[in-house]
Structures are given as structure tokens and as C-alpha cells.
A and B are shown apart, each in its own frame.
Chain A
Amino acid sequence: MKSLETSTGEQEDSRLEITCLGIESTAHTFGVSIISQRGSAKPEILSDIRSIYQPEKGKGIHPREASRHHAKVAATTVAEALKKAKKPIESVDIVSFSQGPGLGPCLRVGAVVARSISAYFHLPLIPVNHAVAHIELAAMLTGTSDPLVLLVSGGHTVITSLTSGRWRVFGETLDITIGQLIDQFGRTAGFSSPFGKTFEEYAKTSQNYIDLPYTIKGNDVSFSGLLTASKRLFHDKKNLEDICFSIQETGFAMLAESVERALVFTEKDELLLVGGVAANNRLQNMLQEVCKIHKAKFYFVPKIFSGDCGAQISWNGLQEFKAGIKLNISDSLVKPSWRLDEVVINWKSF
């Protein structure tokens, strides 16, 4: 922290610049990002470097292999992030890392790197919840004030809003996530994961809707039946484009309905779409229509920051540090099943 000698009191605070190095390693992505913020000015994302583990075709993430990938690229990714940000390590003030939820072996790599930097350079260590970080970065980038959030990715399918200091869940999947549905179907069809982009391209070329199980339970959704039925269609040699189109139309309609229910129940007037699946145009269009019906404003995270990345962890780490959250290394064990609604939010989010 470069405290300015000439300034005094409150002025000093408002001019203080804090630089955070954030490390993401919950699943396939090892990401490092440097973010600086002067006072309460708009934060600057100085760098956001990612190295993504690629499982072989038809296979999912192997936690051990992914963690080996992360360990291999960790040092160069950190160095590259610093270089791109034009910041020497000495000018970094705090280190944050994704403590969970995610794959244990992957999380531990990020944690080890963060602890090492923290211990060697005597920097505060900040724990970040990956789901909260997705939301916070998107909220900062889009400028929402009090949204209902739909977080959709490989690890999450959850509808949430910030109510009395916690992200309360107003709807979620009862079994697998929308990302798992898409990736697991893709693997059945022989594609590598993540399958989202190719999936959308296939879906775009079809207009032939095949009836698939549509499962809504209250505000919750369930995708396991839809996955089984889709795999069956594939084994029955149905056209791949038609299956992708039908999965997309059915699965996203379920999400749209859950969001619509939650929007009416919570009476929010903003919707924020975040997570890797937020990059899908069809999902954006459906939710845009839902928002139009209920006169809510629709926001979605910019495509480059929709997937897992260091910037999420870095920005949320900065917010937490300002709220006084710090961690002793001895308390920094990773939390593979750390639910979004367990985190007490004591920083000003918006």
C-alpha cells in the first residue's frame, strides 16, 4: 500500500491504491489476475491470465490430471499475470484464492501457490468463495444495484439474491447442473468438455423440436431425466443437431420458468445472468423476454469474464480485504463443498 505522505486522515483513505493478486483453481482453469483499485474508484483489471486443462475427447475432468496441469503451469501463469499488469510482485498488497467450492486436488494447488506468495512476501491471505466471486465480478462490470442472479455453469445452477447479508437461494438444481447436462451429453456424443460452444452451434442449425422431459419442482429444476432421455435419443441415432436444439429449448425453458417464478416471488426489478453458460445467446434471449414481461432490467456478464477466471477471485478478494476479512495460513484449508449461502457478506456489494 502506497500511503501518500502528504495527505492526512480521510483523504489518505480515498487515495489509497490496493493491488490484489487473485488465483482461481476450482476446476479446469488455473487463472491469475491482478486488479488495482484506488479508493472507491472503478477498479482496473490489469491482467487476467488463464491456462485451461483439456481432458481427452469423450472424457470429463480428471481431478488428479487437472491438478497436475495446474501445478505445472502455476509459476508461469503467475509470472505472466504480473508481467502483463506491469506490476512487480513487490507492488502487490494482498493475495486471494478460491477456497471452494470445487475439486479438492485442483483447489489445493491454488491454495498452495497463494499461501506461498502470502508467506514469502508477508501479504494478507484472503479466502474467496468461487460462486460469490462469479456474481461480484459480474455485478461490478455491469453496474447492477440489487439483482436477482442466475448463476449457470458446470458447477452451479442456482437462482439467488442478496437478502440480509447472505446470497439466499430461491431456486436451484435438485441434481446435476445445466453445465453438466450439456458436457455429459457432449461426452456421450464423443466431444471433449466443455461442450457449450459447439453445443450452441449445433443447436442453431436445427428447428426440429423433439419432446423431452421437462422437470420443474416448485422453484427448483432437475436435469437428470433430461440427460438420460437425450442420451437415449443419441443411441437411437437421432440427428445430433435436433437433439442439441431440443436439449437447449427444454433445459433453458425450465431455467426461464424458475427465474420467472423467483422474479415474481422476490419482486426484484433486475436480473443478472452469470457463469460459463451465460455466454449462450439463446439463454440470454429467453431471459430477456422473461424480463420484458415483468418489466425488469436484464444484465449479463461480458462473455470474456463468464467462465472461471482469476479476475473473479482477485476482485472479490479486494472487496473482502476492505471489509476486514483475512485468513491465517493455518486456517486456509480448502473447502470443496462450500455453499454460496454459507458466506456472510459484510462488504458493500454494489
Chain B
Amino acid sequence: MEKLLKKGAEASLYRTEWFGDEVIRKARILKTFRQLNLDIKLRESRTRREALFLREAKRAGITTPLVYFVDLIKAEIIMQFIHGRSLKEIIESDDEDISLKWCTEVGRYVARLHKVDMIHGDLTTSNFVISHNKLVMMDFGLSFYSQRLEDRAIDIHLLNMVVQSAHNNYAENIMRAVLQGYQEIASKLNSLRLLERIKVVERRGRYKRVE
């Protein structure tokens, strides 16, 4: 009855049932290539964070899958199954104005998280799914609490890097849409400080020219 949906980098997703509901079992599998105690520490803490942030993000007005059950020993989460397509697929195949509309929504989501001191930590276009005309944010395994401007800037910087590499033809428009959405939610001052800080983070990268 259980079916492997996706073998991700750190977890496998299985489609299964939970007391009659259609759910996803997200299992962080043991990696034999790294030290066992490091592996256990990483899988446990990421499962814990993910469960916590899936719930806490809802308070900030963000749509996330419902959590049904968490097993820290097995490093597993049972969560709501979300029907839909990833933002990555939509950017690759749909009209640009449709994908840009969703990118603006991404910016709003990120700003709402940041407003309550939450950092997603792994923003990519494959960590958003559009379902029933709603944006769903997921994959909170690297999320953490922080009030530092630096951490917010890195959050956006990482998304920018993914977009530049994976969607290079639309990269500028996508990031413009994301930042526009961000500025709708965050205060003007906070947005400006964030933009400044993103530049600082970028300049620190290897072989980035200081201008």
C-alpha cells in the first residue's frame, strides 16, 4: 500500500495512509558515509525542527502541510499529502506571468517568517508546491530562530543562488517578484536594510569583486 514517491537528498517520501487519511511519510534515512553519532544528531535535530516549524509557520499565516505524527527515533514525520506541482515545475513549463505571481507570494511568505524571527534556511523553488491555487511552503529541516539581519539576508541569498543557476533565463524577474512580495509585508526600513545586507553577503563570496 505504501509507495515511494521521491528519493530526496536527505529524506525519502512515501505515500501512505494514516487512519484513513492520505498522508506522506517523510523518513530521514541513515547515511552510512558519515559518522554514526553525527548522522543521528543531524537526523534527529532536523526532524524535530521540521515538525516544529511546520506548525509554527502556520501561526505566521503561511500554508504548510499538517503534521500528524513525529517519531524522533526513526527520524520520521507523518504529514498531510499535498496534491499539486512544485514551483520549479511551474517556472519551467508555465507562462512567465503565472510563475511570477507565485514568486511574489514566495516573497510574502518569507517576509512573514522573518517577521516572527523564523529563518527557513533552505529556500529553493522545489520547496514550494502550488495546491488548490494556494502556495504551500515545506522542507523546514534547516529552519531556525534568529533575529540577526545576517541570517535573513543569507536566507534570500541562497534562494537567489538557486534561481540564478536553475532558472537563469528568468532569474532577474523572479528575484524582482520575490523582493516585491517581501516588501509588501516587511516595513520599508527592514526591506532596505535587508537589501543592503544581501550585498554584503554576496561580496563575501569567493572571488566576488568588491564594487
Is A164 an interface position by the 8 A CB rule?
yes
Binary contact track A202-225/B, C-beta < 8 Å → 1, others 0 = 000000010100101111100000
Interface size range on B against A = 35 or more
- A330-348 interface (Cβ within 8 A of B): 336-340
Known: A174-B154, A217-B154. A264 touches B9 (CB 8 A): yes
Residue pair A289, B206 in contact (C-beta under 8 Å)? no
Is B166 an interface position by the 8 A CB rule?
yes
Give every chain A residue within 8 A of B9 (Cβ-Cβ).
Answer: 257, 260-261, 263-265
Residue pair A219, B158 in contact (C-beta under 8 Å)? yes
Is A33 an interface position by the 8 A CB rule?
no
Which one, B27-35, B70-78, B97-105, is touching chain A?
A: B27-35
Residue pair A217, B206 in contact (C-beta under 8 Å)? no
Interface size range on A against B = 35 or more
Known: A217-B154, A257-B9, A294-B7. A169 touches B165 (CB 8 A): yes
A101–B208 alpha-carbon span in the complex (Å): 10
- A153-167 interface (Cβ within 8 A of B): 155-158, 163-164, 166
Q: A residues near B, CB below 8 A?
A: 101, 155-158, 163-164, 166, 168-170, 172-175, 177, 209, 211, 214, 216-220, 249-250, 253, 256-257, 260-261, 263-266, 285-286, 289-290, 293-294, 336-340
Residue pair A172, B124 in contact (C-beta under 8 Å)? no
- B156-189 interface (Cβ within 8 A of A): 158-159, 161-162, 164-166, 168-169
Residue pair B142, A209 in contact (C-beta under 8 Å)? no
A110–B169 alpha-carbon span in the complex (Å): 36
Pick the contact of A174 from B123, B124, B142, B205 — CB < 8 Å? B205
Is B117 an interface position by the 8 A CB rule?
no
Q: In chain A, what residue has the closest Cβ to B165?
A: A168
Pick the contact of B206 from A156, A218, A264 — CB < 8 Å? A156
- B103-141 interface (Cβ within 8 A of A): 121-124, 126
Residue pair A253, B34 in contact (C-beta under 8 Å)? yes
Residue pair A218, B124 in contact (C-beta under 8 Å)? yes
Residue pair B123, A218 in contact (C-beta under 8 Å)? yes
A168–B168 alpha-carbon span in the complex (Å): 9
Residue pair B165, A177 in contact (C-beta under 8 Å)? no
Pick the contact of A163 from B33, B123, B165, B205 — CB < 8 Å? B165
Give every chain B residue within 8 A of A157 (Cβ-Cβ).
Answer: 206
- In the complex, besides A220-B161, A265-B166, 19 extra interface pairs with C-beta distance below 8 angstroms are A156-B206, A164-B168, A168-B164, A170-B162, A173-B206, A209-B37, A214-B38, A217-B142, A218-B142, A218-B159, A218-B162, A253-B33, A256-B31, A256-B33, A257-B9, A265-B124, A337-B207, A339-B206, A340-B207
Residue pair B161, A286 in contact (C-beta under 8 Å)? no
Known: A168-B165, A263-B9. A250 touches B158 (CB 8 A): no
Known: A174-B204, A265-B126. A250 touches B38 (CB 8 A): yes
Residue pair B33, A218 in contact (C-beta under 8 Å)? no
Pick the contact of B121 from A163, A175, A218, A294 — CB < 8 Å? A218
Give every chain B residue within 8 A of A174 (Cβ-Cβ).
Answer: 154, 201, 204-205
Give every chain B residue within 8 A of A249 (Cβ-Cβ).
Answer: 34-35, 38
Chain B nearest Cβ from A249, distance in angstroms: 5
Residue pair A172, B206 in contact (C-beta under 8 Å)? yes
- B9-36 interface (Cβ within 8 A of A): 9-10, 31-35
Give every chain A residue within 8 A of B34 (Cβ-Cβ).
Answer: 249, 253, 256, 286
Q: In chain B, what residue has the closest Cβ to A292?
A: B33
Known: A164-B168, A290-B33, A339-B208. A220 touches B158 (CB 8 A): yes
Give every chain A residue within 8 A of B121 (Cβ-Cβ).
Answer: 217-218
Residue pair B204, A218 in contact (C-beta under 8 Å)? no
Give every chain A residue within 8 A of B154 (Cβ-Cβ).
Answer: 174, 217
- Ordered by A's residue number, 30 sampled pairs between the chains whose C-beta atoms are within 8 Å are A163-B165, A163-B168, A164-B168, A166-B168, A168-B166, A169-B165, A170-B162, A172-B161, A174-B154, A174-B204, A177-B206, A211-B37, A214-B42, A217-B121, A218-B122, A218-B124, A218-B142, A218-B162, A219-B162, A220-B158, A253-B34, A253-B38, A256-B33, A260-B10, A265-B124, A265-B126, A289-B31, A338-B207, A339-B207, A340-B207
